[in-house]
Amino acid sequence: MRRLIQRLRYWTGRKRTERELAEEMELHRAMRQEELERSGMPGKEAGHASRRAMGNVSVAREDARAIWIWPWLEGLFSDLRFALRGLRRDRAFALAAIAMLALAVGLNATMFTVMNTMLFRGFPLVQENDRLVYIQEQGPSGCCMSYPDFEVWRSQAQAFEGMAFIAERPVTFSDGGESSIRIVPFTVSANTFELLGVQPMLGRDFVSADEGPGAAPVAILNYRFWESRFGKRDDIIGSTVYFDRAPATIIGVMPDGFDFPTQSDIWMPLAHTPELHQRSGLAIFEDPGGFLAFGRLRDGADLDEARAELETINRSLEAEYPETNRRVVPTVKTHSQFFVGQDAPMIYGLLWAAGWFILLIACANLANLVLARTVGRWREFSTRIALGAGSGRMIRRILVESLTIAIVAGALGWWIVNWGVRGWAAATASPYQILDHTVDSGRLAYLVAISVAAAIMFSLAPVGRVLRLGVNGPLRGDARGVTRDPRGKRLAAVTVATQMALAVVLLSGAGVLVRSLFNIVGAETGVRDPENIVVGTLRLPPDRYPSPESRLAYFDRLEAQLTSIPGIDAEALAVSLPVGNRYPRAIEIEGRPSPPDGSEPVGLLAVGPDYFRVVGASAISGRDFNNGDDRPEGLPVAIVNQRFAADFWPGEQALGKRLRAEDGEWRIVVGVVSNIMQGDPLRQQFYPLIYVPFRQEPPPNQRPASFLVRTGVPPDQVMQVVRAEVEQSDSGVTLQDFATLKASFAFNRDRMPLAHAELGKNAAMAPIFAAIALLLAAIGLYAVVAHSINQRRKEIGVRMALGAAAQDIRRMVLGDGMLPVAIGTILGLAASLAVNRVLQSQLVGVSPNDPLTMAGAPVVLILVALLACQIPARRAMKVDPTVVLRND
Amino acid sequence: MPPTHDSLNLLPGTLDLLILKTLTRERRHGYAIAQHLRSTSDNALQVGESSLYPALQRLLLNGWVKAEWGLSENNRRARYYVLTAAGRKKLQTKHEQFEERIAAIRKVLEAT
């Protein structure tokens, strides 16, 4: 140790030491010269003689330097050479070890990166994301944010360095040409970008004067929009564009990769309209998420402090404005809580833990492999130790070999991380979730750290063996005594059992997650053959269709065009598609007093006359809508679903009853229809629904309408024509979500409640992890069993010679191998009961202790384990006793 | 390489032993060590600088001597070597080993 410190000191002061050495030797020479001169030699000659006597000064200096560094480096290099030679000789071992470790550290580090991104990194390019908090309000009537409340916060709250307000504002955009598109820019407080610490890459930021009333309208472009719409023109600054036909000046372009708070093309200063400043409660904002405030915490302030302060302010607001602010509380969240979900730490923590499970399984495999290799070289090691090599040297050799494997695996793992994170980002990209997916040096440091940690972990067992061996252990006969070491066998059994337990936990976790996903996407929706229904959602430009009459005229034209397409059986309009929004309304039923604080609202959908025919619902009783109903002045009728009839008129005849929505006109129920999934994104229940004729309650301005067509031919044959017809009906209309109804039933995170938005990713990732874990565990089991059979060839030979049948040998091998598997499975099941409970909030329609999963996981595992044992067992049965016994 | 080098390599570690012994009385710089070895052995031991300085570095590394800068007799900056406690102990054992070996060698030589 002291020598190591001395060496380090030498290295750090190397220059000085060499200078000193040179000085010292020069002095030596000079002294000799003086002495020679004193003895009478002429000065010049004395100089030459002294130099001659010194010999080769630089060689001497080299020698002196070598004293310090050479033996150490030499040892290291020789170990490294030894390791490389060994690995090259045992290529199968090297490849298997590197592949397993690369996969494991790559996956682990990928999950670490993903977890970091999801929980801690926040927005790309934004400075000190962890100091930003996102704020909305929650009241009895819903969310999200009231601007007057925000102004009070901004003037009173002490916990913030600054706050800003953000609101969506849908507009039509044109750059002066004929065509206009519908976009949804964000209007933001002028200090928004300053608070984020991001500057426009071109032009200028907003200043407070831009926000004031009467300010000249300005806009800042998103890089993506600048690129796609303006071809990255530098002279864009100062040019004029039109929002809802009103001119505005472009003053800046934000840098590439910047989006805030969700994907958007354009930012504008907050428009201080009278509505914004109205203290009208929260109900005016229909679209949650469209309105929010955020703040940067002052140094020293934390989230809880900010939350407590805003709550206090809101209580005083409640006292001041009881009408609008009754029970309105602020919700203060971090980036991950707001945009990823409250359960994010649990979800991504578990994914990371799964990454560690894989790494542990791989390390157990490697430990067994390295141990088997060490035992295989036992004679060599014994000889070396007997010849005087210290056990320290042996341990260093094992460690250097392990580290060599870890370094190569780490390099491959780094490639996996980059590839994996890119794949993850592409597969999970969502316009509503802006994440920083850059893989930086911190991730590299983590990867290096876990690679080295893994190398040390899987070297522990062989190193321990060398230490126990001591000096007088070896040469006491052949390797048999060592390999039969019961401790080694126990260690192998323990690693196999641990691997199996970890694999069971991952399998059962994956099982319940996948079942949850299937419970959503495979749920009964009440729709027949959704793969033959083509759907689309239409957004009409509001300026061109201001009145309900103009919109109905457009729908007439569109329906005429759609029904004329050959291959189409039926067509219908609807305010919402199956599984989509149910637009709940308070309702009143004739003859029943409405409860004082309003009953549970009920979904009310306006649908065209052929709607039930298109979706394939069966009428239970009464009649369907007809074209006579589907007129603004048509008879006020309604059709309810079975669930509604069962909830509101149990045991009664629903037909002929009357009901109305809020203050609408009274409607007669003319039919009861089978249940169709609506309004529950998790698709776990049928809500009571009221259907009314489409043209009696067409969608209000700004709200989309949908169309559904049932095709008699494969849908891809007509989809092009349908799209063309829609575009031809009016080029200003935006067609969204154009697909078959079946495709629209797929899992879409943006349509899920935030708590379950990540289920799709998890249900996709978990089986991958489980499969890799299972594969690695099976490889590990195979290696252990195969190795033990190799060591026991003689014993097997003796048994066979004594009359054991091949079947007995197989039973013996399987029994040996499967015992730790069984123990591991039981432990794993016990652990999954606990782990799956943590998953509970993610599960849909399945219990954490789902019996099917809990039975299925062990069955899968044991089948795979049997397979892994079977291969070596076969080899054991082929052992020829005569050959084995003669060999001894 | 000067022939003197080999004569000291007769037995491994002999040069180290001699240097340590030279430093028991007082601190010395490199030239003084060489001088001392030469004069006390009546010019029989000529230590070349090319083996003296590496040896000194080795002793430094092992912590048996330490170096300090001082002024030489004619007022030049010189590096003086001082025996450490560990060095004194080492000198003791090295000396004993040396005696044993010499005794062993003598036995072999006298046996014939």
So what's the pLDDT on residue A780?
Answer: 86
Residue of A11, A19, A27 to mutate when probing chain B, most B C-beta within 10 A: A27
pLDDT tens-digit readout, A326-346: 788 888 999 999 888 888 888
d(CA A308, CA A317) in angstroms, rounded, equals 14
* Chain A partners within 8 Å of B61 (Cβ): 3, 6-7, 10, 67-68
Least-confidence region, from A76-80, A801-805, A864-868: A76-80
Residue A59 has pLDDT above 80, yes or no: no
Q: Is A822 on the interface with B (CB under 8 A)?
A: no
pLDDT tens-digit readout, A587-645: 888 877 766 555 678 889 999 999 999 999 887 788 889 888 888 888 999 999 999 99
Per the model's pLDDT, the better-predicted residue between B65 and A490 turns out to be: B65
Radius of gyration of chain A (CA): 38
Spatial CB neighbours of A10, under 8 Å, sequence gap ≥ 6: A17, A68, A69, B61
A492, A786 Cβ separation under 8 angstroms = no
Quick one: DSSP state of residue B26? S
Of A716, A664, A699, the residue nearest A534 (C-alpha): A716
A109, A443 Cβ separation under 8 angstroms = yes
A203, A237 Cβ separation under 8 angstroms = yes
CA distances from B69 to A64, A520, A720 (A): 18, 82, 92
pLDDT tens-digit readout, A265-318: 999 998 887 777 777 544 444 444 457 899 999 998 899 999 999 999 989 988
Residue B75 has pLDDT above 90, yes or no: no
Confidence of residue B76 (pLDDT cuts 50, 70, 90): confident
So what's the pLDDT on residue A469?
Answer: 62
- Tokens standing for residue A545: 């269709």
pLDDT tens-digit readout, A756-784: 887 888 888 888 888 988 998 888 888 88
Q: Tell me the backbone φ, ψ of residue A432, rounded to 5 degrees.
A: -100, 5
Other CB atoms within 10 A of residue A753 CB: 10
Confidence of residue A348 (pLDDT cuts 50, 70, 90): confident
Spatial CB neighbours of A195, under 8 Å, sequence gap ≥ 6: A132, A161, A162, A163, A164, A294, A295, A296
d(CA B65, CA B83) in angstroms, rounded, equals 5
Residue of A2, A3, A4, A24 to mutate when probing chain B, most B C-beta within 10 A: A24
CA distances from A276 to A147, A187, A279 (A): 6, 12, 8
Percent of chain A with pLDDT over 70: 89
pLDDT tens-digit readout, A190-202: 999 999 999 999 9
Pairs of residues, one from chain A and one from chain B, whose beta carbons lie less than 8 Å apart: 75
Stretch 13-72 of chain B: residues touching chain A, C-beta under 8 Å: 29-31, 34, 48-51, 53-54, 56-58, 60-63, 72
* Chain B partners within 8 Å of A24 (Cβ): 29-30, 53, 78-79
A152, A313 Cβ separation under 8 angstroms = yes
So what's the pLDDT on residue A288?
Answer: 42
pLDDT tens-digit readout, A207-221: 988 988 788 899 999
Q: Is A68 on the interface with B (CB under 8 A)?
A: yes
B54 contacts A2? CB cut-off 8 A:
no
Say which amino acid occupies A677. Answer: M
Q: Is B87 on the interface with A (CB under 8 A)?
A: no
Residue of B29, B49, B73 to mutate when probing chain A, most A C-beta within 10 A: B49
So what's the pLDDT on residue A280?
Answer: 59
Query: What global pTM score does this model have?
Result: 0.72
Mean pLDDT of A708-726: 90
CA distance B2 to chain A (A): 7
Spatial CB neighbours of A886, under 8 Å, sequence gap ≥ 6: none
Q: Is B79 on the interface with A (CB under 8 A)?
A: yes
Mean pLDDT of B82-94: 90
Burial bucket for residue A52 (CB in 10 Å: 0-12, 13-18, 19+): exposed
So what's the pLDDT on residue A594?
Answer: 66
B68, B79 Cβ separation under 8 angstroms = yes
Three-class DSSP category at A266: strand
Determine the length of chain B: 112
A2 contacts B57? CB cut-off 8 A:
no
Residue A704 has pLDDT above 90, yes or no: no
Spatial CB neighbours of A858, under 8 Å, sequence gap ≥ 6: A504, A825, A828, A829
Q: Is B78 on the interface with A (CB under 8 A)?
A: yes
Q: Tell me the backbone φ, ψ of residue B64, rounded to 5 degrees.
A: -85, -25
d(CA A289, CA A167) in angstroms, rounded, equals 9
Say which amino acid occupies A108. Answer: N
- Tokens standing for residue A774: 């299972």
User: Which chain A residue is nearest to residue B30, measuring alpha carbons?
Assistant: A28
Element (H, E) at A443: helix A441-469
B76 contacts A27? CB cut-off 8 A:
yes
* Chain B partners within 8 Å of A20 (Cβ): 79
User: Which chain A residue is nearest to residue B51, measuring alpha carbons?
Assistant: A60
Q: Is B107 on the interface with A (CB under 8 A)?
A: no
pLDDT tens-digit readout, A859-878: 999 999 998 888 888 888 88
d(CA A851, CA A855) in angstroms, rounded, equals 6
Mean pLDDT of A361-387: 78
